[in-house]
Amino acid sequence: MGKNINDKSRTTRRGFMAAAAAFASFTIVPRHVLAAAGKPTPNDRLNIGCIGVGDRGRYLLESALQGNSARVVAVCDVKADCREKARQMVNSRYENEDCVACVEHEQIVERDDIDACLIASCDHWHALHSLAATKAGKGVYCEKPLSVSMEQNQTLRAAVREHKTVFQFGTQQRSDAKFLQACELVRNGRIGELKKINVWSPASVSGGPTEVVPVPANLDYERWLGPAPFTPYTKDRDSNAWWWFIEDYALGFIAGWGIHPLDIALWGAGDLMRAPVVVEGEGVFPMEGLCNTATAWKIALKYDSGIEIDYRSEPAPEEWVARYGLTDSHGTAFEGTEGWVAVNRGAVTSSPAELATDKTKDDEIRLYKSRHHIRDFIDSVRDGSDPASPIEEAVDGDAICHICDIAIRLKRPVRWNPAVERFEKDAEADARLTRPIRAPWAV
């Protein structure tokens, strides 16, 4: 039988559970007792509340509405049209008028009958919404990226540990068979010793209207801003076309998209990417318009473990396209001493070519297998186990995005120590690990 692993978080949590079960003094609690204490039994549906039901949030909502293992009972959004559309979707699915629609997320997390929350709000709200749900004892599925600062990431991780809740990060590529196969090939040494990882991703956009206009009647702008600095409303500021690329609300696609291929790099490399690392690179930042996150970057990460990462914004270098045969705007390519394997949402390619269709053997390392990210989360909430992308992996992956962004903003090398999650002897870089939060919000 292969060895099942999901890096340090899965080993730690499940190892603890196994050790606890081994002590005869511990009492096994029947499921019906857990149900009486507010925990769902296998025959119960989970009650789910959705926080943020715009474009991505509606996708999560639609996924939750499939099957019979969960039931959506409430939706929340600061935009009236999004709330109403989501409410109608839910009521149409269940053929009733029971779904509650609200503006304030507190109305979701304070409900005792809700077991889990799907969070797809704007990036600057991710950590605060997740924290509120976690502290209320809910399971949390949070879209990527994790937050806009490492301080918020660390606070959320501590809360998940303290409250012993289930957390699933929205890096859904871990529930895709192609990425699982590629990472297992790397973990099992099929390309020899891992030496380098090439990663590429879509970049942020520039521009954006700066004209101050009245806040749309459809939008609760004060609640939308939340922890972000107050800024007069400008035309379409809250649109997905722009807010993703405004530093007050996001790191841009260096994190918002880049987390996907970087997370796969982490999944394939494991602890090799948890060593101290020197990060150096350059980025292009818009000087005019609303958007101010990097529209292009070229970043080198050199780990003490011996591996290197070359992280680029699209388009991928011509030599990468020719070598890997992957023409999409994103991808992760692992280079070893005896070959390579590359993967994106379109395909797995390799050298030697037959490696791309090879299967993991029974006696080899097996990574966590999930075929649907939302269903995996629901199952994990039900049985209390770690899902495909638990909080530890979320923080580790998000940290890579943050240190890359910090390095190109400072325009000089920085050295990051993941053991303490600080830069080494670099107060200027450390200062960027936190950001002010507007009252009354706090972490």
β partners of residue 374: none
Q: For the purposes of burial, counting CB atoms within 10 Å of the CB of 191, is it exposed (0-12), middle (13-18) or buried (19 or more)?
A: buried
pLDDT tens digits, residue range 189-201?
Answer: 999 999 999 999 9
pLDDT of residue 35: 41
203, 167: one domain = no
Distance CA 383, CA 406 (A): 39
Give 322-357 as a DSSP string.
HHH---SS-EEEEEETTEEEEE-SS-EEEESGGGGG
Handedness of CA 301, 303, 176, 46 (dihedral sign): negative
- Report the CATH number that the domain containing residue 348 is assigned in CATH: 3.30.360.10
Q: How far is CA 113 from CA 47, 346, 382, in A?
A: 7, 40, 14
Instruction: Show which of 118, 147, 172 is a domain's final residue.
Output: 172
364, 270: one domain = yes
147, 178: one domain = no
271, 396: one domain = yes
Is residue 359 helix, strand or coil?
coil
Both tokens of residue 268?
């394939």
Q: How far is CA 288 from CA 191, 205, 249, 291, 406, in A?
A: 45, 12, 17, 8, 21
* Region of residue 137 (left: phi > 0; alpha: psi -120 to 50; beta: else): left
Instruction: Show which of 172, 191, 219 is a domain's final residue.
Output: 172
pLDDT of residue 424: 97
The answer to whether residue 382 is domain-embedded is no
Please determine, for residue 250, whether its predicted confidence score (pLDDT) is greater than 60: yes
- pLDDT class of 41 with cuts at 50, 70, 90: low
186, 196: one domain = yes
Quote the mean pLDDT of the chain. Answer: 91
Q: Which domain holds residue 103?
A: 3-172
Report the side by side order of strands in the sheet with 339-343: 348-351, 339-343, 331-336, 194-201, 308-313, 296-303, 277-284, 414-417, 422-423
User: For the chain, what is the domain count?
Assistant: 2
pLDDT of residue 38: 47
- The full length of the chain comes to 443
- Report the CATH number that the domain containing residue 146 is assigned in CATH: 3.40.50.720
pLDDT tens digits, residue range 144-168?
Answer: 999 999 999 999 999 999 999 999 9
Distance CA 337, CA 186 (A): 11
The answer to whether residue 129 is domain-embedded is yes
Instruction: Show which of 172, 194, 215 is a domain's final residue.
Output: 172
The answer to whether residue 22 is domain-embedded is yes
Please determine, for residue 43, whether its predicted confidence score (pLDDT) is greater than 90: no
Please determine, for residue 14, whether its predicted confidence score (pLDDT) is greater than 90: no
182, 77: one domain = no
Distance CA 210, CA 36 (A): 54
pLDDT of residue 5: 60
- pLDDT class of 328 with cuts at 50, 70, 90: confident
Mean of pLDDT values over 287-298: 97
Please determine, for residue 358, whether its predicted confidence score (pLDDT) is greater than 80: yes
Please determine, for residue 353, whether its predicted confidence score (pLDDT) is greater than 90: yes
pTM for this one? 0.91
The answer to whether residue 283 is domain-embedded is yes
44 vs 370, more confident: 370
251, 136: one domain = no
Question: b/e string for 44-71 if b means 16 or more Cβ within 10 A?
Answer: ebbbbbbbbbbeebbbbbebbbeeebbb
